[in-house]
């Protein structure tokens, strides 16, 4: 039985590489610094996250596949820090996840904002 030689690389790795190339997803590099932009087919941006040393550090924005904003906030050394706004796919504010974060932990709702909406 003669045929083309088989690759020792698993098929799923080839499929993942092909799909990543088609979707235009950026890869994180350990030594990399800069903005990583995740794009889906036909150029719709899903996220923009600033990285330093391979970890998120700086502004972060993300959108739902339907084009509405999903979240925006700031990372410090890989964790959420500062005011974060989270939205549901229909555009409504997610009051449970929106708030003030310190070292990755939500410590409070956003002052004045959650009271206006009726804090959860």
- In tens, the pLDDT along 11-37 reads 655 555 555 555 555 444 445 567 878
Q: Quick check: is 5 in a domain? A: no
Of 32 and 53, the structure prediction assigns the larger pLDDT to 53
CB 62 within 8 A of CB 46: yes
Joined together, the tokens standing for residue 114 give 């959650």
Q: Residue 33 maps to which CATH number? A: 2.20.110
Which pTM was predicted? Answer: 0.64
pLDDT at 14: 52
- Count of residues in the chain: 120
Q: Quick check: is 42 in a domain? A: yes
Q: Quick check: is 9 in a domain? A: no
Our count of domains for the chain comes to 1
Q: Quick check: is 16 in a domain? A: no
Print the domain residue range for 80: 29-117
Q: Quick check: is 109 in a domain? A: yes
pLDDT band at 71 (very low <50, low <70, confident <90, very high): very high
Q: Quick check: is 54 in a domain? A: yes
Q: How far apart are CA 74 and CA 90, in angstroms?
A: 23
Q: Mean pLDDT, the chain, as a whole number?
A: 76
Q: How far apart are CA 26 and CA 12, in angstroms?
A: 19
């Amino acid at each position: 039985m003669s045929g083309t030689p088989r690759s020792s690389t698993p098929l799923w790795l080839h499929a993942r590489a092909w799909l990543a190339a088609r979707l235009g997803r950026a890869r994180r590099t350990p030594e990399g610094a800069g903005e990583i932009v995740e794009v889906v087919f036909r150029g719709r941006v899903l996220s923009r996250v600033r990285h330093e040393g391979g970890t998120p550090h700086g502004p972060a924005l993300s959108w739902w596949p339907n084009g509405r904003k999903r979240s925006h906030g700031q990372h410090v050394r890989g964790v959420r820090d500062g005011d974060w706004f989270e939205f549901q796919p229909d555009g409504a504010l997610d009051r449970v996840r929106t708030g003030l974060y310190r070292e990755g932990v939500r410590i409070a709702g956003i002052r004045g904002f959650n009271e206006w909406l009726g804090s959860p």
